[in-house]
Amino acid sequence: MLLQKGTAAPDFELYATPDQKLKLSELKGKRVILAFYPADWSPVCGDQIALYNEMLKFFQKHNAQMVGISVDSKWCHMAYEDNRNIHFPLLADFEPKGEVSQQYGAYNQEGGYSQRALFVIDESGIIQWSYLSPEGINPGADGILEALEELENNKKEK
């Protein structure tokens, strides 16, 4: 099952480039948006990743880092990032295959790929919003923005 609001986000360390790994806990102090998606190059995700790529300044306004995750290899991600001018890290959940996606409850066992799942994680590493999109449907970004705004509002009320 998809990890829900209030759960501590499991830490992980995955390749972001051919020679650099990114560890989730290194991002503490920032909000993190995790976007699990089935594959580089496939048309629907293409639109989804392209959409997030245009929105980085909106995420920055909320002190949030966008991170994509799929089971594609680091080399595949590199080619895809170059081809599409992607300006945020795409992590390779490649070996053991899909391990992180499984921990987050966002893995399609039968097909062997990450499901289209979104998580908004707060500054202290707690999941504050999660959403599993139906297969083949680009979830857009309105849900992410609303979750980030809610975090902002809760902070003000405190």
Partner 1 sequence: MKIIKKKNNLMANLKPPVNENDHHTGNDKAKITLVEYGDYQCSHCAHAHPLLKELLEEKGDYFKFVFRNFPLKEAHPLAMLSALAAEAAGKQHKFWEMHDMLYENQAQLTRDSFIEFAESLDLDLEKFAADLQSETISSKVENDFESGIRSGVNGTPSFFINDKKLNIYDGTYESLKSAVTDYVQE
- Min dist CB 62 to partner 1, Å, is 13
Q: Is 45 a catalytic residue?
A: yes
Which C-beta is closer to partner 1: that of 66 or that of 100?
Answer: 66
Sign of CA dihedral 93, 99, 101, 106: positive
Instruction: Report d(CA 76, CA 93) in Å as an integer.
Output: 12
Task: Name the region of 58 (left: φ>0; alpha: ψ -120 to 50; beta: rest).
Answer: alpha
- Min dist CB 103 to partner 1, Å, is 26
Which C-beta is closer to partner 1: that of 106 or that of 141?
Answer: 141
Residues that bind partner 1 (CB under 8 A): 43-44, 47-48, 50-51, 53-55, 58, 84-87, 134, 136-142, 145
6 burial class (0-12, 13-18, 19+ CB within 10 angstroms)? exposed
Sign of CA dihedral 16, 107, 104, 118: positive
Catalytic residue among 45, 66, 86, 106: 45
- Min dist CB 27 to partner 1, Å, is 23
Place of tokens 């001018």: 85
Q: What residues act catalytically?
A: 45
